[in-house]
Amino acid sequence: MTDGPIRLRETFASTPVSAHNDAWDALYAESFHPWDRAGPSLALADLLAQRTDLIPPSVERRDSSSSSSGTASIARRLALVPGCGLGHDVLLLSALGYDVVGLDYSARALELARENKAKADAEGRYAEYVRDGVGSGRVTWVSGDFFGTAWEADAGASKFDLIFDYTFLCALKPSERPRWAKRMSQLLAPGGQLICLEFPSGKPLSLQGPPWGVWPEVYEALLEHPGEPIEYADDGSVKSDSVPRLPHPDGLHRVCLVKPQRTHKAGTNEDGSVRDFISVWTR
């Protein structure tokens, strides 16, 4: 049987971009999802715990004077995880207090996500992240094309306070990356944060994908100039002369770039050191 990486490369090399969504859905329907990490992103959990100077809490407490009922209330920030798959990071963010939309084109992926949530709830798998007085946020599973807008009605929102990207950008052909950046810019609420766990860092584009290799400067070029095409060197880094010089009116700026202390095994070197980066973006 063809192994996972080879099958992924062969599947998407022979499939036009317009049919990629259906190709991912077909793989889930066959129970083929070797990219699943079987758990949440510890790098995300650590960042949210350690960088409260950059990322506001998941909830805002409102006193009785601002509540129509005359009692204190909690307003939850709204998070989005596009390409959520089995939903591990959706469940993590929910446990941390966010209301979360888990978005995936694949209906089968969302079936698995619902099953995953039911098992996690029964086992108390995310209980360590739930804070007293805050509790877990609402989870909404939504099927739709990230690049379209039809799914926003089911999500009940078109702007999000926090967006988490992991194994989503890297699943797209490099030619589709400007569309990703433009859509992220559209979906991020004023004052919101886009968090990117950058994977697989340093993989040359010549090795093909998915997953397609990324570098920190790739995110920088894309998100500072949403929708603008960029060109790549053979190693996958950005050709500096292809990046627009003038600021983009919808551009995001990076406020944090760190090597996480912990991440999934796929993001580490053979000696156990972390290879990937995690970055935070805002307006």
- Burial bucket for residue 275 (CB in 10 Å: 0-12, 13-18, 19+): middle
Contact criterion met (CB below 8 Å) for 94 and 81: no
Instruction: Write out the residue range of the structural domain in which residue 107 sits.
Output: 38-282
| Residue 85, both tokens | 């798959």
In a domain, 7, yes or no: no
Contact criterion met (CB below 8 Å) for 213 and 162: no
CA-CA-CA-CA dihedral for 230, 234, 235, 236, to nearest 10 = 20
In a domain, 243, yes or no: yes
Whole-number pLDDT of residue 2: 52
In a domain, 136, yes or no: yes
Q: How far apart are the first and last CA of the chain?
A: 47
Q: How far apart are CA 253 and CA 247, in angstroms?
A: 10
Whole-number pLDDT of residue 203: 93
In a domain, 140, yes or no: yes
In a domain, 1, yes or no: no
In a domain, 33, yes or no: no
Considering only CA atoms, give the Rg of the chain: 19
In a domain, 242, yes or no: yes
CA 243 to chain centre: 24
Which uninterrupted H or E stretch holds 121? helix 107-123
Q: Give the start-end residues of each E strand in the chain.
A: 59-62, 73-76, 78-82, 99-104, 139-143, 160-165, 188-198, 253-258, 277-282
Instruction: Give me the tens of pLDDT residue by residue for the chain, a chain 283 residues long.
Output: 457 889 999 999 999 999 999 999 999 999 999 999 999 999 999 999 999 999 999 998 776 555 555 566 789 999 999 999 999 999 999 999 999 999 999 999 999 999 999 999 999 999 999 999 999 999 999 999 999 999 999 999 999 999 999 999 999 999 999 999 999 999 999 999 999 999 999 999 999 999 999 999 999 999 999 999 999 998 899 999 999 999 999 999 999 999 999 999 999 999 999 999 999 999 9
In a domain, 77, yes or no: yes
Letter string b/e over residues 150-181, b meaning 16 or more CB atoms within 10 A of that residue's CB: ebbeebebeebbbbbbbbbbbbbebeebbbbb
Whole-number pLDDT of residue 3: 73
Q: How far apart are CA 36 and CA 32, in angstroms?
A: 9
Whole-number pLDDT of residue 74: 82
Q: How far apart are CA 150 and CA 147, in angstroms?
A: 9
Q: How far apart are CA 195 and CA 164, in angstroms?
A: 5
CATH number where 45 lies: 3.40.50.150
Q: How many domains does the chain have?
A: 1
To which residue do tokens 């939309």 refer?
101
To which residue do tokens 């129970």 refer?
31
Whole-number pLDDT of residue 63: 67
Q: 159, 144, 160: which is closest to 104 by C-alpha?
A: 144
